[in-house]
């Protein structure tokens, strides 16, 4: 089955113990105001760009300044490398380095929160999860923040 943990905070992610091969997607959303925010994310199977997926770290933004977008892109490029591709309000770092470890994701969420002066929330999605892993809290994430995702694994 597929599951999603959402509204995670930094300490919860730092203490997680999930198997890396089961991580399908993560996202760090950084709030900048009532409607202003950006997100940094990664999909295991790539993020759609036209008809082909782009593999690497990506970001999206909503109602933030061009200055902040440029600063964020430079930060991500410096940290993860990759070729920068723009598509409306999304930016892709094609071929960038990736992170999957809970500690690395938690540390990056903390860096984004401090650098861009905003609270963050983290989402992590997993595939091929057994019910026993959820019941036994094998991922060491809060049971009240897990959602089942309907459909095939």
| DSSP structure string for 84-128 | EEEETTEEEEET------HHHHHHHHHHHHHHTT--EEEEEEESS
Half-sphere exposure of 39 (CA within 13 A, CB side): 16
| 8 Å CB contact between 106 and 122 | yes
Structure tokens at 55: 């593999």
CA distances from 44 to 56, 64, 71, 119, 132 (A): 9, 27, 25, 25, 23
pLDDT at 62: 97
pLDDT at 121: 98
pLDDT at 22: 97
CA 14 to chain centre: 14
pTM (2 d.p.): 0.95
* Among the listed residues 149, 115, 142, the one whose alpha carbon sits nearest the alpha carbon of residue 8: 142
Q: Which residue has the higher pLDDT, 50 or 99?
A: 99
Q: Where are the domains of the chain?
A: 2-149
Structure tokens at 2: 């597929």
pLDDT, tens digit, 9 for 90 and up, residues 13-52: 999 999 999 999 999 999 998 899 999 999 999 999 988 8
pLDDT band at 153 (very low <50, low <70, confident <90, very high): confident
């Amino acid at each position: 089955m597929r599951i999603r943990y959402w509204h995670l905070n930094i300490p919860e992610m730092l203490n997680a113990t999930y198997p890396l091969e089961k991580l399908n997607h993560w996202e760090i959303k950084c709030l900048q105001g009532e409607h202003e925010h950006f997100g940094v994310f990664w999909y295991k199977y790539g993020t759609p760009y036209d008809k082909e997926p782009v593999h690497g770290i990506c970001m999206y933004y909503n109602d933030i300044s061009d200055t902040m977008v440029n600063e964020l892109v430079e930060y991500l490029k410096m940290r993860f490398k990759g070729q920068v591709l723009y598509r409306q309000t999304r930016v892709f770092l094609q071929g960038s380095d990736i992170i999957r470890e809970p500690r690395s994701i938690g540390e990056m969420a903390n860096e984004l929160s401090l650098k861009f002066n905003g609270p963050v929330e983290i989402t992590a999605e997993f595939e091929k999860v057994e019910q026993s892993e959820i019941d036994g809290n094998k991922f060491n994430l809060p049971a009240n923040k897990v959602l089942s995702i309907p459909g095939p694994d």
